[in-house]
Structure 1
Amino acid sequence: MENNNEKFFQKVSELLEKGRKNVKTAVNLSMVYTYFEIGRMIFEEEQNGEQRASYGKYLMNELSEYLTAQFGKGFSVTNLKQMRQFYVVYSGDKISQTVSDQFSNLPTVSTGRKFFLSWSHYLKLMRISNMEERHFYEIEAAKNDWSLSELNRQFDSALYERLALSTEKENVYRLAQKGQIIEKPSDAIKDPYILEFLGLDELPQYSETELETRIIDHLQEFLLELGKGFTFVGRQVRFTYDEEHFMVDLVFYNRLLRCFVLFDLKIGKLKHQDIGQMQMYVNYYDRKVKLPEENPTIGIILCRDKNNAVVEMTLPEDNSQIFASKYETVLPSKEELQKLLKEQTVGGEQS
């Protein structure tokens, strides 16, 4: 009887939590739409009074005092300027219709634009000057339900630049239109992976076992870094072949690609023997573990350093299963990644 009551109480509790979350989301979105319209009204009023000297400053000060008297805190001159900037940034900014269609229940503002995130999210996004990059983070935050702290983390780790550098040049623009789309194995790969959340030193003064343990201890953050569709299967997954025992460091499954994803961790420079070992792991999973309806296994060697020439020479030209990616234990320089991306998009070779 107590167990049945407990299950019933849990269901009621979950329903309340969902309802509160929906209310909170509705309030946050209503605030965003309202602030956009306030920003529009301020902008248009300033344009009408632009002949008068210092009219904009006067308008902001007077409006701030009036709204504060009427509604209390939240309408400082700084906040009103942010609302005006919000309108300026997004008034002529069109986001992919495909993304808007996924949120068909949301209204549109006078310009035909929809908003999907909280005001705090848009305060962050407004500071991104590159429109394509801004679109990408807005789409990913909406699709993946990123909190503000997760949005900040993904931006600080230069996710946009890393994905853009890891994809074909002609597909970079698609990131700004649809976000990250997982259709083939290479779409799920990042290079480098940023693991600053592990709290490890920049110099590899740790063992591969410690690296693996830190990843397991921070599995939620690692899954977010891996990206869409990944679920954890196990660590040090053992298999036996021809009376020899082997251990795969980390095994995941990607629901979008419908395949196993194996990780081998290397704290030093990648060697061609490491690639051969991963090839054997992948072959075993393809022949002994995966189901007929599942797709071929992916192997990712996560290493501290690599020589691209060695990787290219070791792997077959039509390789679509084995990947070698570097990992960093500190946040990268966005400026350096942006420079590499600019070189790539104007015709430089892919890094």
Structure 2
Amino acid sequence: MKNSGPPSLTDVPTGYADWLTELKLRVHAARQRAATAVNHELVCLYWQIGRDILARQAKQGWGARVIERLAHDLRTAFPEMKGFSRANLMYMRAFAEAWPDGEIVQQGVGHLPWGHNLVLLTKLKTAQLRLAYAQRAIEQGWSRNALNIHIETRLLEREGKAVSNFSTRLPAPRSDLALQAIKDPYVFDFLGIGQEAGEREIEAALVEHISRFLLELGAGFAYVGRQVPIEVGGDDFFIDLLFYHLKLHCYVVIELKAGAFKPEHTGQLSFYLTAVDAQLKSDQDASTIGLLLCKTKNRVVAEYALRDSNKPIGIAEYQLVESLPKELQTNLPTIEQIEQELERYQKNGEDA
């Protein structure tokens, strides 16, 4: 019998399209939950294997060669799984050693994919930092690449470090949220421009790499425009960069200075904040916040400059070149090395 195919659009009853859309969303959500559950079980399994390896090596004196034998036997027993290489078993051991408390694995890092946990293990040395980045990755849904970037640029270590007057110019708890929304320094190493780049060159590069710029700014920032025109009393002024913060519900004016911070910079930025509040801010928006980015700053001078300012302003430095500090690196093999090993095994089944 010939397949007549799906019925024509004229045969679809009223409301079917909306129902189908809703069903698709349900299916997608269910698949996501299933994938998350499978991932959680896999990570917990890896932790249990790592814990057993640690315990048996400690109690029975098993050496490293046992892991090679275990890798071979597990791959033989489960040929369809590619997670039982020697390198990955070593990661399981390191994972269990890093998180001796199974409660953390069940409730915290166990909700991150294994690849994320490898980033935490290879990039960070302390449990405190690993847990802090793990929690933020879960909260904000970071991809593995985003987690890697944030660790390499020391995102959490820089948050809340900028000089600001938020505590006296903004009500609590908004002042705390605003302080956590900015950092010091900002790292713009992704721009690929020299240390002597001027303000306009940096602005143009930031807009050109707006996705990375937003990643560096952090969650909540939405890009509005560059060199945004503001007319005041018949004179034209231009705001370097204008953003809107979705969590703070306010505009954020960012001004770039290619040199050292000077007290007069806050006067110019305060003027722009007043203009934005008067011309762009709606009744539903909170007061506009200013962020002054400069190449260098004297912290004491910056604090003095903000002391009598009646506008909420943060002052931070930016860096055009940054590298991963040696103290953040561990002696474990890199993720790239383990992935290459897994790929080799998948292709030819040989022991790594």
TM-score normalised by L of structure 1: 0.75
RMSD in angstroms over aligned alpha carbons?
3.4
In percent, how many aligned pairs have the same letter?
Answer: 33
Of 67-76 and 249-258, the range deviating more from structure 2: 67-76
Q: Is the 8 A contact 1:239 1:245 kept in 2?
A: yes
Q: Tell me, yes or no, if structure 1 residue 244 matches structure 2 residue 253.
A: no
Shift of residue 286, structure 1, vs aligned partner: 2.6
Question: Structure 1 stretch 217-226 or stretch 15-24: which is displaced more?
Answer: 15-24
Question: Match of 1:125, as an amino acid?
Answer: L
* Matching residue within 92, 102, 113 for 2:101: 92
Aligned to 1:189: 182
Q: Give the Cα separation in 2 of the matches to 1:15 and 1:210.
A: 47
1:94 deviates by 6.2
Q: Match for 1:224: what amino acid?
A: L
Change (3 A) 1:221 1:93: farther
Q: Which amino acid aligns with 1:36?
A: W
1:66 partner letter: D
Report which stretch shifted further, 155-164 or 234-243. Answer: 155-164
> What is the Cα deviation at residue 139 of structure 1?
1.1
For residues 317 and 133 of structure 1, do their structure 2 counterparts lie closer, same or farther at Cα, with a shift above 3 Å needed?
A: farther
Q: Flag the structure with more relative contact order, 1 or 2, with Cα contacts below 8 A and sequence separation at least 6.
A: 2
Aligned to 1:56: 63
2:74 matched to which residue of 1? 67
**Counterpart amino acid of 1:150?**
A
Which residue of 294, 299, 313 corresponds with 1:308? Answer: 299
Q: Contact between 2:186 and 2:216, CA under 8 Å: does it hold in 1?
A: yes
Partner of 1:129: 125
Q: Are residues 1:79 and 2:88 paired?
A: yes
Relative distance call for 1:78 and 1:154 in structure 2 (3 A) is same
Q: Give structure 1 stretches of 5+ with no counterpart.
A: 96-107, 169-180, 338-351
Give 2:114's match in structure 1, choosing from 119, 131, 135. Answer: 119
Structure 2 spans left out of the alignment, 5+ residues: 1-8, 10-15, 165-173, 329-352
Cα distance change on mapping 1:120 and 1:114 into 2, 3 Å: closer
What SS does structure 2 have at the residue aligned with 1:184?
helix
What do residues 249-300 of structure 1 show as CA deviations (whole Å, max 9, x unaligned)? 1111112112110011222223333221101011222334323443221111
How many Å separate the matches in 2 of 1:323 and 1:250? Answer: 15
Query: Aligned with 2:111: secondary structure?
Result: coil
Counterpart of 1:41 in structure 2 is: 52
- Report what 1:160 is aligned to: 156
1:270 and 2:261 correspond? yes
Match of 1:149 among 130, 145, 149: 145
In 2 relative to 1, CA 276–336 (structure 1 residues): closer, same or farther, beyond 3 Å? Answer: farther
Instruction: Give, in whole Å, the separation in 1 of the partners of 2:46 and 2:218.
Output: 32
Are 1:265 and 1:301, in contact at CA under 8 Å, matched by a contact in 2? yes
Contact 1:93 1:113 in 2 (8 A): no
Q: Is the 8 A contact 1:236 1:249 kept in 2?
A: yes
Give the whole-Å Cα distance in 1 for the aligned partners of 2:281 and 2:92: 53
In structure 2, do the counterparts of structure 1 residues 301 and 152 end up closer, same or farther at CA, with 3 Å as the change threshold? same
Write out per-residue CA displacement over residues 176-221 of structure 1, whole angstroms, 9 at most, x where no aligned residue.
xxxxx984322211111011111112x22x3322211211111111
Q: What do the CA deviations read for 1:211-246 (whole angstroms, capped 9, x no partner)?
A: 112111111111111112111122221121111111
Counterpart-to-counterpart distance in 1, 2:271 and 2:37: 51
Alpha-carbon deviation of 1:26? Answer: 3.7
Give me the whole-angstrom Cα distance separating, in 1, the residues matched to 2:204 and 2:52: 55
Change in CA separation of 1:114 and 1:136 when aligned onto 2, cut-off 3 Å: closer
